[in-house]
């Protein structure tokens, strides 16, 4: 278990060093889902990966794990998410990685669903090499605002009609 935890932290650090994400892609098929949310804090927008519940290795590049597209306003989008249960175990900002421990974030994605992850804000606690932080779910920006940002970010993709339908249902 300790080796898995160390490997997960190493993966988060390596993910944090990766350059800009590729553009949001069209849906691979009718079964693929899209997850969107808001995640930011006092050090900026983090690098995040959705880990498939069945995944045995917490490595972002492994099949079934989906890295986020991140935006400076705090929007995060996971495209082409296969149906299933996923977890966010932690996140990375710059060279620092943070583990959520038992407070991991869970999201379930049904076939073809557009799913709201929620809005979260973290606060890094100061200190030399500190990895201490707080994480809380927040009401602002609203679900509607985050959904509008996601709609703008996916404007040239086939996700746009699905998100527009979701916005109209709110």
What CATH number belongs to 2-169? 2.60.40.1120
User: Which helix H or strand E contains 90, and what residues bound it?
Assistant: strand 90-93
Task: Supply the pLDDT for residue 124.
Answer: 85
Q: Are 73 and 153 in contact (CB under 8 A)?
A: no
Task: Check: CB of residue 47 under 8 Å from CB of residue 92.
Answer: yes
Indicate the domain borders of the chain: 2-169
Which pLDDT belongs to residue 169?
94
What pTM was estimated for this model as a whole? 0.83
Burial class (CB in 10 A: 0-12, 13-18, 19+), 65: middle
C-alpha span between 69 and 53 (Å, rounded): 20
Six token digits for residue 153 = 């970010």
Mean pLDDT per 10-residue section of the chain, whose length is 170 residues: 43 40 86 96 90 72 82 96 93 87 92 96 82 91 97 95 95
- Quote the pLDDT of residue 54: 77
pLDDT at site 107: 95
Q: Other C-beta atoms within 10 Å of 86: how many?
A: 27
């Amino acid at each position: 278990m300790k080796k898995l935890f160390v490997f997960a932290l190493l993966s988060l650090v390596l993910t944090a060093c990766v350059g800009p994400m590729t553009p949001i892609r069209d849906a691979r098929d009718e079964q693929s889902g899209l997850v969107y949310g808001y995640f930011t804090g006092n050090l900026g927008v983090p690098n995040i990966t959705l880990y498939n519940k069945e995944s045995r290795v917490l490595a972002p590049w492994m099949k079934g794990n989906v890295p986020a597209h991140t935006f400076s306003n705090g929007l995060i989008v996971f495209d082409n998410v296969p149906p299933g249960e996923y977890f966010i175990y932690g996140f990375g900002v710059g060279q620092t990685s943070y583990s959520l421990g038992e407070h991991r974030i869970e999201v379930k994605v049904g076939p073809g669903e557009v799913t709201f992850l929620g809005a979260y804000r973290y606060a890094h606690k100061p200190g030399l090499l500190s990895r201490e932080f707080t994480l809380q779910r927040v009401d602002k920006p609203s679900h509607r605002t985050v959904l509008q940002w996601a709609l703008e970010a996916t404007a040239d993709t086939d996700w746009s009609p699905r998100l527009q339908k979701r916005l109209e249902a709110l």
